[in-house]
Amino acid sequence: MPLPLKARVTVRDSWEAEDSEAQKAIRSIQETVGWSVRCYPDFAVLWEGLQGVYEDGGEFVNAVAAVIRIWCQELDSLLSDAANEDWAEKFLENIGDKGTQAIILLIDVGKPGVATTTWSTSTSCFTLALPSTRVIFAPDHASELRAQIYGLFEPKESAPLEDWADLGDSKKAVPAASEGHVVVPVAAQGVAFLPTLNDVPRPDILQLQPPYRLIVHDRGNYIEVQCSHSPSLELLAGYLEKWCRAIPSRSERPPIMNVRLNKSAFGLGVVYDALTISPYDSRDPTLLPPVLVLSLVENVLGYRLAQEYAQSWRFIREEILKSSA
């Protein structure tokens, strides 16, 4: 299946361009080990398997390039760390065993939600399996890829021989390994690489990822709710509008309170970042306590109170909120 035009343009700009972040990461490995890095993803084949999970071809190509870049950065970080000298030697021995002196990386589609990497001793090739689900933020896969790369060439340490087993003949005495002594090497903590602009999703997508933060302000004559999760604000607004009383003295029977959602200045489509609740008539001294809003936030939306001040409350929710539709 041919790549759509937007995908082909993004391949040119985000993958093939010499100044792209992916090519910079590849060159960094080459400078570290002195060997070439061969990685030629077949975007057309990958698109066949992943087009259903991405909104457009440009986002798809950026995600593929970003995960490859993360793989390269973590490998380069491991090779450059002096604490991993034994590991690096074993890595180079395995790579150069067949005389190719090249790091070959194949790209495939793997399991949902996780990026995985493997090493084939028969072909001397790495395989990076991209998540079969949408990659929202590629750096989230950095730690798991680092641990997997390290595990492929993890140096094995034998247990020290502390005691000698006496078999009756001192000339035939053999060492007895100490019991319960297991050495488990652990990959060093990875460097936190600054994400690129292409890594970071649009604001309307980014703000759907937890943790969600919500702040309620009691401004005296009105209540203001700020939230990073637009659907939470929409639910609050819908509930308050549904159950708001009308003004019986007016023929048009308007609601006692105005509930207004504020459109965010960032992102695509309609995204809300604040909600205000104020009296329909500013001259009306209607008491406006925030207790109903606080109850909805905690008991319905499941946010946890993090901080409380005299006239403001700060909440957080760390679990994802999925739409029932």
Q: Could you report the per-residue pLDDT of 251-297, keeping only the tens digit for each? A: 788 899 999 999 999 988 899 999 999 998 877 767 789 999 999 99
Whether the pLDDT of residue 219 is over 50: the answer is yes
- The mean pLDDT of 293-306, rounded to a whole number, is 97
Residues 180-208 pLDDT 10s: 333 333 444 544 788 998 899 889 888 99
Residues 48-91 pLDDT 10s: 999 999 989 999 999 999 999 999 999 999 999 999 999 999 99
Residues 97-142 pLDDT 10s: 766 789 999 999 999 999 999 999 888 899 999 999 999 999 999 9
Q: What is the 3-state secondary structure (H, E, C) of the chain?
A: CCCCHHHHHHHHHHHHCCCCHHHHHHHHHHHHHCCEEECCCCHHHHHHHHHHHCCCHHHHHHHHHHHHHHHHHHHHHHHHCHHHHHHHHHHHHHHHHHCCCEEEEEEEECCCCCCEEEEECCCCEEEEEECCCCCCCHHHHHHHHHHHHHHHCCCCCCCCCCEEECCCCHHHCEEECCCCCCCCCCCCCCCCCCCCCCCCCCHHHHCCCCCEEEEEEECCCCEEEEECCHHHHHHHHHHHHHHCCECCCCCCCCECEEEEEEECCCCCCCCEEEEEEEECCCCCCCCCCCHHHHHHHHHHCCCEEEEECCCEEEEEECCCCCCCC
- pLDDT, residue 4, reads 93
pLDDT confidence bin for 95, thresholds 50/70/90? confident
- pLDDT, residue 8, reads 96
Higher pLDDT, 247 or 157: 247
pTM of the shown model:
0.75
Strand partners, 103: 37
Average per-residue pLDDT for the chain: 87
- pLDDT, residue 324, reads 65
pLDDT confidence bin for 157, thresholds 50/70/90? low
Whether the pLDDT of residue 304 is over 80: the answer is yes
